[in-house]
Amino acid sequence: MEILSKRKIKVYKVLLAIIVAAIIITLLLALNGVFGPKFPLDGSIRLVQAGRGLNQYEIKAVFDPDSKTLTCYQSVLYKNTSDDLLTHIYFHLYPNAFQYEDKAVFEKSDMNRAYPNGFSPGFLDFSIVRINGEEADYVLGGYSDDILMLLLEDDLAPDEELNIEMEYTVLLPDSMGRFGYGENMYKVVNWYPIACVYDEDGWNLDPYYAIGDPFYSDVANYKVSVKAPEDYVLATSGEVKSKKKKGEEIIWQIHAPAVRDFAWLASNTFKTASRKVGKTLVSSYFYTTEAGERALDYAAASLAYFNNVFGEYPYSNYAVVESDLYIGGMEYPNLIMLDHGLYQKSNIGYLELVTVHETAHQWWYGLVGNNQITDAWMDEGLTEYSTVLYYGNRYGEKKEQDIYQNIIGEGKYNILSSYWSLGILDETIHRPIYEFVDWTFYDMLVYGKGAMLFHSLREEMGDEKFFQGLQKYYRDNQFQNARKSDLIHAFDQVTGLDWQKSFNRWLYDKR
């Protein structure tokens, strides 16, 4: 047995530190290799690991608020992650869903609210499409020419990659819907060609339905630059890495690893306020001062609570944005849009409700995805019930019961009697969004009855197992697209019981 001197101990400590540092650097370089030269290592190790093997989008956009246009260059490193040979690759072109008034993405009863200044078209127009540097053959199809089909010269085998380049112009509509602009700001969401999901059912090529959130996408890595006038402030998915002044414009460089979509909002009237929650900087962008501060409080409080009960939010930034929007709220990765009307004093209670709901979507849609066309109840029902849980945690059991019984869950479901009188009796909530007769019916079933499903599960299994089930569902499916079986499996695993019948009792009309 050797007795070590203090000098030898110091030498050994130095050598050990060097060895450990070398191992860490080697691991980091290995992880960084999956991004390639366009995606330098940044963000948490968890996000770097989640980004391995994902599609990579690089987009350069020039924003011109005078002409209401974006001039864009886009490069996509696309990988075939399926077990099949792909003969074609498809992209959604969501802006094209806004180009025809007779094919609008809004219900007829909402057209005046969506277009207060009259119908205004939006679209995406290509100038160049290339595959691996060669001009590509492509076809525009779908309900509103909103699907791009790329014809491949050779089949794309499993695990093979190809590079797709596009140059295009986007025209923003004058619209109070998700996509477009109003008096105060611009909503650049669902704005670029995004690869359609290829899953066990094949290609998912659904149009932009007027009911629900008709989006289904895979997580990918994004590197986006936006050149905008210097007086504009941007709220974005991901993290702003730099802002460089060039003449009278600013070039915003943004990185967003492992996100399901990329959105940004712009205004030359935004005020901002921020607060740190764990590792996440929560920021409020607003043009109604007092309510903007309140929105920050609601977003920060709900993010902190959901961190504790579901699992930690892995991203460094989260933005809540007052928007020229008529539909209440809308979620995107690291960012939510809130209806300007919620910021009025008479609606402060609803501002909290919608802010919390959209924040919960950062877990149930953003991190754990699902097909929002066929399985909308999975994210909306669970998000709605997550909102109930927030109220119980922050204000106590009485407030939780009041919110559940009067506003969410039973509160919405009880309104169904008006539809029964019309002979609309089918209460099935696990069905595609295009089978619901209108937004109200969809809301009462998918949100209301969906929340009741989760409330029933909690009552049957108790709080401990219920929250363990949600945590397992989150751990097992984050950065992926989950199905009904994945959700049920999580509860089966933590309880040792079979919950299939309990789910089916709520999901399907058995009368």
Is the domain of 98 the same as that of 32?
A: no
Cα 477 to Cα 66: distance, rounded to the nearest angstrom? 43
- Domain's final residue, options 315, 334, 362: 362
Is the domain of 170 the same as that of 278?
A: no
Is the domain of 238 the same as that of 313?
A: no
Q: Over the stretch 23-48, which tens digit does the pLDDT of each residue have?
A: 443 444 344 443 333 444 345 788 98
Cα 149 to Cα 146: distance, rounded to the nearest angstrom? 10
pLDDT attached to residue 92: 98
Domain that holds residue 25: 11-41
Residue 493 above 50 pLDDT? yes
Is the domain of 326 the same as that of 453?
A: no
In a domain, 367, yes or no: no
Is the domain of 136 the same as that of 209?
A: yes
Question: Does residue 264 contact residue 227 with C-beta atoms inside 8 Å?
Answer: no
Is the domain of 259 the same as that of 301?
A: no
344 phi and psi angles, rounded to 5 deg: -80, 150
Q: Over the stretch 116-145, which tens digit does the pLDDT of each residue have?
A: 999 999 999 999 999 999 999 999 999 999
Is the domain of 352 the same as that of 392?
A: no
Q: How many CB atoms lie within 10 A of CB 238?
A: 25
Q: How many domains is the chain partitioned into structurally? A: 4
The tokens for 286 are 């607003």
CATH of the domain at 71: 2.60.40.1730
pLDDT attached to residue 43: 53
Q: What percent of the chain has pLDDT over 70?
A: 91
Is the domain of 36 the same as that of 105?
A: no
Cα 171 to Cα 67: distance, rounded to the nearest angstrom? 8
Is the domain of 65 the same as that of 208?
A: yes
What is the residue-averaged pLDDT of the chain?
92
The tokens for 266 are 């712009």
- Domain's final residue, options 203, 238, 263: 263
Confidence of residue 380 (pLDDT cuts 50, 70, 90): very high
In a domain, 169, yes or no: yes
In a domain, 281, yes or no: yes
Is the domain of 183 the same as that of 62?
A: yes
In a domain, 308, yes or no: yes
Q: For residue 238, give the nearest of 251, 256, 252, 220 by alpha carbon.
A: 256
Distances (CA, A) of 85 to 54, 150, 202: 18, 14, 11
- Domain's final residue, options 234, 263, 292: 263
CATH of the domain at 324: 1.10.390.10
Burial 383-394 (b: 16+ CB within 10 A, else e): bbbbbbbbbbbe
Burial (CB < 10 A; 0-12, 13-18, 19+), residue 318, is: buried
If you average pLDDT over residues 449-468, what whole number do you get? 98
Place of tokens 């359609």: 196
Is the domain of 387 the same as that of 278?
A: no
pLDDT attached to residue 503: 97
Per-residue three-class SS string for 106-118: CCHHHHHHHCCCC
Burial (CB < 10 A; 0-12, 13-18, 19+), residue 117, is: exposed
Sign of CA dihedral 150, 154, 155, 161: negative
pLDDT attached to residue 2: 31
Place of tokens 């910021």: 343
In a domain, 46, yes or no: no
In a domain, 182, yes or no: yes
Q: Over the stretch 221-232, which tens digit does the pLDDT of each residue have?
A: 999 999 999 999
Is the domain of 127 the same as that of 84?
A: yes
In a domain, 371, yes or no: no
Residue 18 above 80 pLDDT? no
92 phi and psi angles, rounded to 5 deg: -80, 135
In a domain, 49, yes or no: no
As beta bridge partners, residue 149 has 90, 139
Q: Over the stretch 66-103, which tens digit does the pLDDT of each residue have?
A: 999 999 999 999 999 999 999 999 999 999 999 999 99
As beta bridge partners, residue 285 has 272, 321
